[in-house]
A and B are shown apart, each in its own frame.
Chain A
């Protein structure tokens, strides 16, 4: 009887420890996801302010960016575009932002609405995006980003 109780206690302890570990992993994951969501907001603010130094810190050097028109840009080309005086973003709002973690990668998806002036003409764009973030040397960096106009 005593042996049976000991075995039951051991089994319960193992189950509780496994549950606690799962809980700890889930908390760690949600913490990382929250960091990436914060970086998404930081990206918007940096783009609005044309702060390419801040953008440089959160974009991987190999990042590829597919813009609203389907144009593929490298990181250097993207930063040059943001820096350009031809582009004057006024406001950018992100809606329905969600993120999902896959190991050392987080995919952030959402919709952005942005308005401003480009080449002297006002624009208002609404697009759905996916940003791919990877955890490298203790930092989250965006390695790919694509936008698609929301037509309907």
Chain B
């Protein structure tokens, strides 16, 4: 399963990798669906605790702002995903929109997450902003932030 996710991530990251020929530059609509696909793979990788797949998705200098305002770098984020004290059983996204600015893309959406943390069940609903940078033809996330929706 882990290997499969990693391969899927690689295929999604590189424009044209899934189409054999990469002669024609990707259109904005294609880039948008690619980024939405990467967002879904990210959720699956977190649920599967597949940090190898996540390493492919996120840039070394990524900053993560958690729902409680904690600031994590990539290593700390990967360690938090790998931690055995947290089990995300379901993560779903809704109302996602993609905004392209050349080599940068901003994805905004709402997520619902449920699972257990230190043996206790949790459920969260928050809004997120992910910033992606296109580097050597691949999209890499450089910032991710979530804020709980209070009302």
Interface residues of chain A, those whose CB is within 8 Å of chain B, are 62, 64, 66-72, 100, 102-105, 107, 109, 126-128, 130, 132, 134, 143-144, 146-152
Q: Is B44 an interface residue (CB 8 A)?
A: no
Report the nearest B residue to A141, measured CB to CB.
B101
Q: Are B108 and A109 in contact (CB under 8 A)?
A: no
* Partner among B65, B66, B148 whose Cβ is within 8 Å of the Cβ of A70: B148
* Residues 95-151 of B contacting A (Cβ, < 8 Å): 99, 101-104, 106, 108, 126-127, 129, 131, 133, 142-143, 145-151
Report the nearest A residue to B97, measured CB to CB.
A64
Q: How far is the CA of A103 from the CA of B132 in the complex (A)?
A: 12
Known: A107-B142, A130-B129. A69 touches B150 (CB 8 A): yes
Chain B, residues 15-49, CB within 8 Å of chain A (1/0): the string is 00000000000000000000000000000000000
Report the nearest A residue to B148, measured CB to CB.
A70
* Complex interface: chain B residues within 8 A of A67 (CB): 147
Stretch at the interface among B3-11, B67-75, B80-88: B67-75
Q: How far is the CA of A143 from the CA of B101 in the complex (A)?
A: 9
CB distance from B146 to the nearest CB of A (A): 7
Q: How far is the CA of A132 from the CA of B143 in the complex (A)?
A: 9
Q: Is B12 an interface residue (CB 8 A)?
A: no
CB distance from B5 to the nearest CB of A (A): 26
Q: Are A70 and B129 in contact (CB under 8 A)?
A: no
* Partner among A62, A69, A72, A105 whose Cβ is within 8 Å of the Cβ of B104: A105
Q: How far is the CA of A67 from the CA of B71 in the complex (A)?
A: 17
* Complex interface: chain A residues within 8 A of B146 (CB): 148
* Partner among B69, B103, B106, B150 whose Cβ is within 8 Å of the Cβ of A150: B69
* Complex interface: chain A residues within 8 A of B58 (CB): none
Known: A64-B108, A107-B63, A143-B106. A102 touches B133 (CB 8 A): yes
Top 6 closest pairs, chain A to chain B, by CB: A150-B69, A70-B149, A151-B68, A69-B150, A70-B147, A105-B104
CB distance from A115 to the nearest CB of B (A): 17
Q: How far is the CA of A78 from the CA of B63 in the complex (A)?
A: 25
* Complex interface: chain B residues within 8 A of A64 (CB): 99, 106, 108, 129
* Complex interface: chain B residues within 8 A of A105 (CB): 101, 103-104, 131, 133
Known: A148-B67, A149-B69. A104 touches B103 (CB 8 A): yes
Known: A69-B149, A143-B99. 4 other contacts (CB 8 A): A134-B104, A143-B101, A146-B147, A150-B68
Cross-chain pairs A/B with CB under 8 angstroms, 27 sampled? A66-B145, A67-B147, A69-B147, A69-B149, A69-B150, A69-B151, A70-B149, A100-B61, A100-B142, A103-B103, A104-B101, A104-B102, A107-B142, A107-B143, A126-B69, A128-B145, A132-B104, A132-B129, A132-B143, A134-B102, A143-B106, A144-B99, A146-B129, A146-B147, A147-B147, A148-B66, A150-B68
